[in-house]
């Protein structure tokens, strides 16, 4: 098993060519984990433990064939799991995470909309930066490359929020207002985060897993190619 841990959030990863070999290996590993917990007088809540089988969308999976046990309890197979606030579905399509983000920023935009008559646009922009922007930026380098169909509702709600903080008419164009207020669109935020991540990888400031995943090209000759 490979482990990804952050504070009290632990994730165990295993991969294989077929589901039977994966289940056999995983059950063997979980027995050792269970022994470790019992030896250290710890208890893992199996009801809060989620089991996700990441696979291609075209690959069908019989749930009855996935029999994974932990401390005698059979773990139910889930279609999604939340990892540090990012919802990952079994096909890595990010649809469910986009729905979660859209619902959150829609609710927060409603809060701003209810008080917009009492505050000037400068104060409303601060509220946008506090209640909407962080949810757009969080983990965007991971999920921002999903299909436009998945992100369509998020884009529409962001435009609605721009009309709210600029006190514009409901069908007003948002692009000139965003430029005027110095606010980036979702696709621009995604490009910015990707560029920042690549810069951190080049400067070896990114996590080692990302730095090791990317191989930088070195100049093979000294010719000036302008």
List the structure tokens of 182: 């110095």
Query: Cβ distance 163 to 212 under 8 Å?
Result: no
Q: Is the dihedral of CA 114, 119, 121, 124 positive or negative?
A: negative
User: Would you state the structure tokens that stand for residue 5, as one six-digit string?
Assistant: 């841990």
Scanning the structure block, which residue is given the tokens 């509702």? 153
- Of 152, 110, 150, 160, the residue nearest 131 (C-alpha): 110
Q: What pTM was estimated for this model as a whole?
A: 0.82
Report the SS3 class of residue 163. Answer: helix
Higher pLDDT, 199 or 59: 199
Q: How far apart are CA 43 and CA 157, in angstroms?
A: 43
Q: Is the dihedral of CA 165, 169, 170, 173 positive or negative?
A: negative
Render pLDDT for 42-92 as a digit per residue (tens, 0 to 9): 888 888 888 999 988 888 888 777 888 888 888 888 889 888 889 999 888
Q: Which position has the higher pLDDT, 214 or 149?
A: 149
Length of the chain: 226
């Amino acid at each position: 098993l490979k482990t990804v841990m952050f504070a009290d959030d632990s994730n165990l990863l295993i991969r294989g060519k077929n589901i039977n070999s994966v289940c056999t290996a995983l059950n063997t590993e979980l027995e050792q984990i269970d022994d470790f917990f019992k030896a250290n007088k710890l208890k893992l809540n199996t009801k809060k433990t989620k089991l996700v089988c990441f696979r291609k969308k075209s690959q069908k999976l019989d749930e009855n064939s996935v029999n994974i046990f932990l401390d005698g309890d059979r773990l139910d197979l889930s279609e999604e799991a939340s990892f540090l606030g990012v919802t990952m579905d079994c096909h890595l399509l990010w649809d469910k995470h986009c729905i979660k983000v859209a619902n959150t920023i829609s609710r927060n935009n409603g809060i701003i909309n209810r008080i917009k008559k009492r505050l000037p646009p400068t104060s409303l922009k601060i509220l946008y930066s506090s209640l909407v922007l962080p949810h757009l930026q969080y983990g965007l380098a991971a999920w921002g490359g999903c299909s436009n169909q998945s992100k369509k509702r998020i884009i529409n709600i962001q435009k609605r929020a721009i009309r709210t903080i600029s006190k514009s008419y409901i069908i007003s164009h948002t692009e000139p207002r965003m430029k005027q207020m110095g606010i980036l669109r979702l696709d621009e935020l995604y490009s910015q985060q990707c560029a920042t991540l690549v810069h951190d990888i080049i400067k070896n400031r990114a996590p080692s897993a990302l730095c090791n995943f990317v191989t930088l090209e070195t100049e093979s000759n000294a010719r000036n190619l302008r």
